[in-house]
Amino acid sequence: MSARVLVVDDQEANVRLLEAKLRAEYFDVVTAFSGQSAIDCAIAQQPDVILLDIMMPGMDGFETCRRLKSDRRTRHIPVVMVTALDQPDDRVRGLEAGADDFLTKPVDNLPLFARIRSLLRLKVLLDELRLREEKAEERGLAPVDAESEALQDVNILLVAGEDRIASHLASKLPPQTNADVEIDPARAITRSADGYDLILIDLTTKAFDALRVCARIRANSETRQIPILAIVDPDEVSRSVRALDLGVNDIVHRPVDRGELNARIWTQLRRKRYADTLRERLEDSLEMAVTDPLTGLHNRRYISSRLQQVAEIVASGDTTASVVIADLDHFKRVNDTYGHEAGDFILREFSERLKARLRAVDLAARYGGEEFVILMPDAPLTEAKAGAERLRAAIADTPFRLPGDSGVLAVTVSIGVAEIQPGDDVDTVLRCADDALYRAKAAGRNCVMTDQKASQAA
């Protein structure tokens, strides 16, 4: 996986060394020699990963990282601090500034490329979500705030080889977390799908193959997005690399420092919550694209698409289906007499009564104004007409109570029904149902009429 990497260091020799290593692996490399130039370059070049030195004159790496993570244009870019500082306090300070990981000078190629590949995989997923979010913002939705709420009510699955080790690790977790311990690998894989916010797994155990547990969790679509934080020995470089390649999000070296562990947990949770928010917004946007905002029913675009799909199934001879068009009678008079607020209330109430009388397989949509379309799969004309008659009666028999003290209003509905015939396209079947609706209106309204051609053929 190739990508653009920004290398930042005030020492040109260090920059050129990292640049040569990265270019040998076919990465595109851009460079900067100060904190401010790194920020300017990140905004202009939009790199995929930033390798950032800490010890720089003027603006050091900590402050540079804080500024990068506070800017919406660059906060999504992973930052790896490359430093000679190797104390836990230094790592905690960097993580609190927003860094995603640390590499100690001189940089070993294996962990360097493993860490970059790992961060790139996460960034690719986030970038796809961010792109869709930007489209939503262009349509007027408020932007998602990358800052998450404080760490609280966090559920962690702690996987270790023995109770003693698990208890020791649990004692180092933040007090706001709820930790469930599992020492059986099969049960750990099963329990990982129980809605945990993070999985902490001890890779140093000899009791079972912890890497295989990580791989199984990542292979499951239900648990693929849960961050995994792994405990490893600092000397086991190849195991750390293997873990990152399998999809482990981050690594903590033994002996585990409480402050560093908590900072890394928070980093993973912050990223997860941001990604979860983007996914929820995407789902909401997709739902909005096919939903009528006033009634909560499907909209014209969605029902037209489903009509086409059902028409193709009917053409294959595997099923029957019918279409119902319902139109509220004299609805303009309602708006003119009682106002649009009352009209909207009638539309919503009608939609609720409609949904209450649908079969589980039926689909209803507001087609426009006071006109509604119902698609009834596996329903011949006679069955669809009976369902339409029940809807008509439910509207006519119970007056609508208007909001406030406006009293009640009797409302009726005219309905046309057509059965989808093999070879019909969407326009044809809708035209047949609409013709039946027109005849219902002409017959005095508050009645159900069927497609004449289908009735004559029957």
Q: Active-site positions?
A: 370
Q: Which of 386, 413, 260, 407 is CA-nearest to residue 328? A: 413
Q: Is 294 helix (H, G, I), strand (E, B) or coil?
A: coil
User: In angstroms, rounded to a whole number, what is the distance separating the alpha carbons of residues 120 and 186?
Assistant: 30
Phi/psi for 157 (5° steps) reads -100, 115
User: In angstroms, rounded to a whole number, what is the distance separating the alpha carbons of residues 394 and 414?
Assistant: 12
DSSP β-ladder status, 363-368 and 371-377: antiparallel
User: In angstroms, rounded to a whole number, what is the distance separating the alpha carbons of residues 396 and 399?
Assistant: 7
Eight-class DSSP state of 77 = S
> Could you identify the residue written with the tokens 């908590």?
262
Residue 65 contacts residue 81 (beta carbons within 8 Å): yes
Instruction: Give the Cβ contact number of residue 335 at 10 Å.
Output: 15
Residue 401 contacts residue 408 (beta carbons within 8 Å): yes
What's the start-to-end Cα distance of the chain, in Å? 63
> Could you identify the residue written with the tokens 């499907």?
298
Angle in degrees, CA 237, 238, 243, rounded to 5: 100
Q: At what angle do helices 340-356 and 381-397 cross, to 10 degrees?
A: 130
User: In angstroms, rounded to a whole number, what is the distance separating the alpha carbons of residues 365 and 375?
Assistant: 9
| Tokens found for residue 220 | 């499951």
Q: For residue 90, with 0-12 CB atoms within 10 Å meaning exposed, 13-18 middle and 19 or more buried, which class applies?
A: middle
Residue 372 contacts residue 365 (beta carbons within 8 Å): yes
User: In angstroms, rounded to a whole number, what is the distance separating the alpha carbons of residues 357 and 339?
Assistant: 28
Q: Which of 385, 401, 148, 152 is CA-nearest to residue 276? A: 148
